[in-house]
Structure 1
Amino acid sequence: MTSLTGSDGINQALADIHKISCKMSCNHSGQVVATTVYLLETLKHYSWNQKVVLVVAAFALSFGEFWLLVSRRDEDPIAKSVNLLKGCLLIPDFNELVKLLRAMMVAVNSNFAFCVLPTSYIKKETSSMMGAIKYFPNPSCQIICRVVYIASTLGKEKVNNLNDFAEEIGKMNTTLQEKLKCCQEEVDEHRQKEYQYICDLIGQSKDQIQIIAKLTGKNENQVPERLKDRHVILLISDFNISIEEIKVLNQLIKKDHLYEMIWIPFGERLSSERNKFLELKKYMISFTFFEPFDIEQAVIEFIKKDWHFIKNPIAVSLKGGEVTCRNALPMLLTWGNSAFPFTDKTEKDKWDKMDKKWKLDLLVDEQIIGQDIESWKKKETVVCFFGGANIEWIKNFTAEVKVAAEATGVSLKMAYVGNNKGKGLARNELSLAKIHVIESEFQWHFWARFKSILQTKIQHGKTCKSDRIMQETMKILNYDGSGKEWAIFGMGSDVMVTMNGKTAITIMSKYKEWKKDVAKPRFFLQGIRSYMTKLSVDHGCIEVHLPVLGQLPGIVFCPKCYREMEMYYTYRCCDE
């Protein structure tokens, strides 16, 4: 049986639609039976439901051409000439024709619904499906005959029984709908049983191999035995996961070999999706993965409903058959492997032990920013991270910072980190200004850590008023999300200073006014902070965009005025 899915199946179906459309258009009313037989022979590799869908689609193609000619023949000479050549002289009653077309579309939708019934939940041998299959040939043939007749006479002969045809197709569709309802009830029953089985398996079984096999659509003997006693992280995503994210996770996986990571991607059975899979697979050198298109529908339902997967990747932590964390990805991106074994308690302990100050340690370590920048955390080295897309601002800012640093006698290190989409100015644009640009995967991780920190703080019920780290994180995400330039200054274990681009330029250009407060190089940040309090900074509009991870975040307060922030839904598609 020919499939209507997949690139090959769709291309073949389109070719057949064009072929039978031409045949119907070139036919006349006296050849309806012969043409119908020809169509059935041409479509013999399709099911009865698929035959109806393709024939009506072919008629839609013919009718579309007919309508274009008729609607333009009085004003367009070419359309008028083509109309004469085709012999389309009569205009049908369009009200009756529209009624018929609507009946056809309802029939198409019913037949298509049969085509996409999941065969894993309903077999041909079931009573409901056997009854439907026995019924299909008769109405399918009648619908196809009606379509062939109308397509053959359209504009050439007067057709008086369009309303009768519409009523006949409507009656056939009523019966189709009744049989479809019986089949769908059976599908729903089997799907619910399968979903409950997965819930029980995840909640009660301690057999890790069995769980992995079920989630990946494999037999247990196809799952590597080494996964039985290993700590496993299930990375669940679609095929739009970024290469930068994969590279970061690769480094974390192979760094300490504490766990195995299995990629479970969701996607349609299209050749374009398979090509994406094969392309991403090349970068997943440290991952374990299986054929992605074998995942059962009940598994997808469970992951979306119980593990709250929507679109953004999640990482489910699994040990000894027990789920230790439904989404360890924010934890992994914030703390790296030091958060192992990735439990809620581990994360809480990490935050409890951490100094609550806004310091360089949050932004600079070898697994997020690279070993070459790890050495920047020296006691008397001023580190400046900055972002923005205005090259003129960047040139002016970097020049002013270097002058101020030289005048105050501090060692200076600067790095451009793009924006939170992993994009930014091209390296060749910034190389002219001799600016250090962090590698793309480190840029991605830099921003992923910010968003992970904020999500965790929100989930833990923290507020900007009482949590300095949350406050400063929101500032940076707001500056970046609104397209503004920004800068962070840090030094050793001192508290960092965060500011927008306008404030940063102002402070650096007026370093002579606060230089007197820098008695020693290590007081550089203190001088900036002191002068910043003298400036009038507008509140402006604070906006922070976070990916939806299945559950809405709690109440969030403004990092500047501490009022409760409004929450909106945003749907975004960025082709960047």
Structure 2
Amino acid sequence: MLRFKMPWYVVQHFSPIVGIKFIKEEWNFKNKPILVVMNRQGKVEHPNALHMIRVWGMKAFPFTTTVEETLSNRVDGIGSVWFDIHPDVSNWIKQEKYIFFYGGKDNEWIQQFNKKAATLANDPVMKDKKISIELFCVGKGSKGEDDHNILGHFWNRIESFFFSKTHKNTKQDIVTQEIQKLLSYKTESGWVVLSKGSRLVVSGNGTTMLKVLEEFDKKKELVREVGFEICFKDHHEKIIETGHHCCRVDIPMNAGKVPEHIKCPECPRIMETYISYKCCHIDGPMNALH
């Protein structure tokens, strides 16, 4: 009954058939859904367009590698990650407001950052310079309750953006560097992204970004001279120069073609590779070894 409802061709054989080996080895199918795009002549136009569809939706039509490269190489392309994550965010982006996106596993840090960022947003100097700052805690609803749909949507898009950037090569352009940095924040206790509309201004882990806000009182007068954006970025760079923390990027091995080597998004070194095992106890005991 389910098969008859599907508007596409369904392979009905469950025993090994010709083509399975090809799909696994040539198309890197590893038990997670992939979407291979072919033209009318049967030529593969994209080995897995699922990631680009998750990030850009129908803007990526006709889902070819050429379109993907154009979209993923745009400097403001990272804004696609959060453009329609919430109606309020979409409106703020259209109004070209500054937006603090933040989150993490440490609720105490989240509360501290929220308090400091709200104080900055309402500061008389910011109001005087007509600098509008909004706050959006990823994974928390308007009343502070957990919103796993937004949280999952946010990280799925970042992960898909990463695969869109690295499935062909590991060239470390500015967009690749920033998307890897965002992906590394997934396991952090706290993290922050500051954007101006859809354009990413600066991002960082919770410790450094909170320190920027705590020390920003001394820099506020500079806002009148050089502007909020330059002042905030410069102070953040000075803080991270005093000490780096370990950077970690988790990539699921069954999500398709995974790059052999990844350059660190915060320094010129190649990242060390570790193997991690995870079980979420889904679909019964047989899934415990995936």
2:166 maps to which of 449, 458, 462: 458
Whichever structure has more helix as a proportion of its residues is 1
Cα distance, 1:370–1:404 mapped onto 2, change above 3 Å: closer
Task: State the distance in 2 between where 1:372 and 1:401 align.
Answer: 18
Task: State the distance in 2 between where 1:315 and 1:573 align.
Answer: 25
Task: State the distance in 1 between where 2:107 and 2:70 align.
Answer: 42
Say if 2:82 and 2:89, in contact at 8 Å, map to a contact too: yes
Instruction: Give, in angstroms, the shift of residue 294 of structure 1.
Output: 4.7
Look up the equivalent residue of 1:329 and give its one-letter code: L
Instruction: Give, in angstroms, the shift of residue 515 of structure 1.
Output: 0.9
Cα distance, 1:380–1:518 mapped onto 2, change above 3 Å: farther
Say if 2:97 and 2:132, in contact at 8 Å, map to a contact too: yes
Secondary structure of 2:23's counterpart equals helix
Instruction: Give, in angstroms, the shift of residue 478 of structure 1.
Output: 1.8
Instruction: Give, in angstroms, the shift of residue 501 of structure 1.
Output: 0.7
Aligned to 2:207: 502
Say if 1:307 and 1:326, in contact at 8 Å, map to a contact too: yes
- Tell me whether 1:529 sits opposite 2:233 in the alignment: yes
Aligned to 1:307: 27
Aligned to 1:491: 196
Say if 1:507 and 1:528, in contact at 8 Å, map to a contact too: yes
Secondary structure of 1:377's counterpart equals helix
Say if 2:222 and 2:231, in contact at 8 Å, map to a contact too: yes
Task: State the distance in 2 between where 1:293 and 1:572 align.
Answer: 31
Task: State the distance in 2 between where 1:476 and 1:392 align.
Answer: 21
- Tell me whether 1:469 sits opposite 2:189 in the alignment: no
Cα distance, 1:326–1:533 mapped onto 2, change above 3 Å: closer
Say if 1:517 and 1:523, in contact at 8 Å, map to a contact too: yes
Aligned to 1:119: none
Instruction: Give, in angstroms, the shift of residue 451 of structure 1.
Output: 1.4
- Tell me whether 1:514 sits opposite 2:232 in the alignment: no
Aligned to 1:555: 261
Task: State the distance in 1 between where 2:242 and 2:94 align.
Answer: 31
Say if 1:339 and 1:347, in contact at 8 Å, map to a contact too: yes
Say if 2:37 and 2:63, in contact at 8 Å, map to a contact too: yes
Aligned to 1:253: none
Aligned to 1:546: 251
Instruction: Give, in angstroms, the shift of residue 550 of structure 1.
Output: 4.2
Instruction: Give, in angstroms, the shift of residue 457 of structure 1.
Output: 2.3
Aligned to 1:383: 99
Secondary structure of 1:534's counterpart equals helix
Say if 2:121 and 2:132, in contact at 8 Å, map to a contact too: yes
Instruction: Give, in angstroms, the shift of residue 386 of structure 1.
Output: 0.9
1:566 maps to which of 265, 269, 272: 272
Task: State the distance in 2 between where 1:412 and 1:381 align.
Answer: 6
Say if 2:155 and 2:186, in contact at 8 Å, map to a contact too: no
Secondary structure of 2:28's counterpart equals coil
How well do the aligned residues superpose, as a CA RMSD in angstroms? 3.2
Task: State the distance in 1 between where 2:279 and 2:165 align.
Answer: 27
Gaps of 5+ in 1: 1-215, 228-261, 263-288, 419-425
- Tell me whether 1:330 sits opposite 2:55 in the alignment: no
Mapping of 1:265-344 within 5 angstroms? 294-298=13-17, 300-320=20-40, 322=42, 323-344=44-65
Task: State the distance in 1 between where 2:148 and 2:52 align.
Answer: 21
Gaps of 5+ in 2: 283-290
Look up the equivalent residue of 2:63 and give its one-letter code: F
Instruction: Give, in angstroms, the shift of residue 557 of structure 1.
Output: 1.0
Say if 1:314 and 1:328, in contact at 8 Å, map to a contact too: yes
Task: State the distance in 2 between where 1:392 and 1:441 align.
Answer: 22
Query: Could you give the per-residue CA deviations for residues 36-59 of structure 1, whole angstroms, max 9, x where no partner exists?
Result: xxxxxxxxxxxxxxxxxxxxxxxx
Instruction: Give, in angstroms, the shift of residue 324 of structure 1.
Output: 2.9
Say if 2:72 and 2:161, in contact at 8 Å, map to a contact too: no
Task: State the distance in 1 between where 2:276 and 2:215 align.
Answer: 40
Cα distance, 1:358–1:554 mapped onto 2, change above 3 Å: same
1:396 maps to which of 93, 112, 123: 112
Aligned to 2:83: 365
Instruction: Give, in angstroms, the shift of residue 552 of structure 1.
Output: 3.7
Query: How many correspondences in the alignment?
Result: 272
> Which one has more relative contact order, counting CA pairs under 8 Å at least 6 apart?
2
Mapping of 1:101-140 within 5 angstroms? none
Secondary structure of 2:92's counterpart equals coil
Say if 1:490 and 1:525, in contact at 8 Å, map to a contact too: no
Instruction: Give, in angstroms, the shift of residue 498 of structure 1.
Output: 0.4
Task: State the distance in 1 between where 2:94 and 2:229 align.
Answer: 14
Cα distance, 1:570–1:391 mapped onto 2, change above 3 Å: closer
Instruction: Give, in angstroms, the shift of residue 489 of structure 1.
Output: 0.9
Give structure 1 regions of 4+ aligned residues with deviation exceeding 4 angstroms: 299-302
Aligned to 1:20: none
Deviates more, 1:400-409 or 1:548-557: 548-557
Structure whose CA Rg is larger: 1
Instruction: Give, in angstroms, the shift of residue 223 of structure 1.
Output: 8.7
Look up the equivalent residue of 1:539 and give its one-letter code: H
Say if 2:167 and 2:257, in contact at 8 Å, map to a contact too: no
Task: State the distance in 1 between where 2:201 and 2:244 align.
Answer: 20
Instruction: Give, in angstroms, the shift of residue 310 of structure 1.
Output: 1.0
| TM-score, with structure 1 as normaliser | 0.43
Instruction: Give, in angstroms, the shift of residue 343 of structure 1.
Output: 1.3
Task: State the distance in 1 between where 2:231 and 2:53 align.
Answer: 36
| TM-score, with structure 2 as normaliser | 0.80
Cα distance, 1:575–1:384 mapped onto 2, change above 3 Å: farther
